[in-house]
């Protein structure tokens, strides 16, 4: 399990940052995948992302990564879309904090490498691959079946803000490990005697 004392957030791109049709029974916008490049670039972000994600980036001290599964063509479109929408400046996510993989289960490799402690993704299969690695899992958007109890369902970005914030220590408080270390340091220590 990744170290919760250093919170780090992973966020999926497709149907989370972009393309989530929250009012269409989970049907994603197809312009990004099947339309022209111009149509893909013109397609909007998921409603609420620009209102919520910047505050989460601040709470995580910039330790936020986009982790996306896609082929090379969609990877290039994703990179172009992020630049076209000035996404990094609008959210505060550092430009280099972008990872791609070709299989959903391979997101676990990136999460392990980055020490991700909180992950937002719309695919239950991804969360199953992360279940023993990432302590806080958020299943985003409309789902056909009720999710299992080990993952937290967040239908929209407002629910993401509430759920993730509830799982973080209060702003300005030390992380759990830091607090424990401080408590240990404050305990009186027994006197040590030298043997003669």
User: Could you give the percent of the chain with pLDDT greater than 90?
Assistant: 74
Rg of the chain's alpha carbons, rounded to an integer? 20
What confidence category does residue 192 fall into, taking pLDDT thresholds of 50, 70 and 90?
very low
DSSP secondary structure letter of residue 106 = G
What confidence category does residue 28 fall into, taking pLDDT thresholds of 50, 70 and 90?
low
Reported pTM:
0.85
Query: Superfamily for 9-184?
Result: HAD superfamily/HAD-like (3.40.50.1000)
**Domain coordinates of the chain in residue numbers?**
9-184
Report pLDDT for 14: 94
Give me the mean pLDDT over the 12-29 stretch.
73
Report pLDDT for 2: 87
Report pLDDT for 27: 54
Copy the structure tokens of residue 127: 């969360």
Give me the mean pLDDT over the 64-79 stretch.
97
The span from the first CA to the last CA of the chain, in angstroms, equals 47
For residues 65 and 106, what is the distance between their CA atoms, to the nearest angstrom? 15
For residues 156 and 115, what is the distance between their CA atoms, to the nearest angstrom? 25
Report pLDDT for 174: 61
């Amino acid at each position: 399990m990744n170290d919760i004392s250093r919170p780090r957030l992973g966020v999926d791109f497709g149907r989370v940052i972009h393309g989530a049709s929250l009012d269409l029974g989970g049907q994603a916008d197809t312009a990004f995948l099947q339309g022209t490049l111009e149509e893909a670039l013109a397609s909007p972000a998921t409603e609420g992302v620009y209102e919520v994600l910047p505050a989460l980036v601040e709470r995580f001290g910039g330790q936020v990564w986009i982790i996306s599964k896609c082929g090379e063509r969609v990877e290039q479109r994703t990179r172009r879309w992020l630049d076209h929408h000035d996404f990094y400046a609008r959210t505060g996510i550092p430009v280099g904090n972008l990872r791609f993989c070709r299989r959903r289960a391979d997101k676990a490799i990136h999460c392990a490498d980055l020490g991700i402690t909180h992950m937002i993704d719309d695919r239950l299969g991804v969360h199953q691959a992360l279940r023993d690695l990432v302590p806080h899992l958020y299943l985003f958007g409309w789902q056909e079946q009720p999710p299992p109890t080990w993952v937290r369902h967040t239908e929209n970005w407002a629910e993401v803000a509430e759920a993730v914030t509830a799982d973080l220590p209060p702003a300005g408080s030390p992380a759990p490990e830091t607090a424990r270390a401080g408590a240990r340091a404050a305990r009186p220590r027994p006197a040590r005697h030298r043997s003669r």
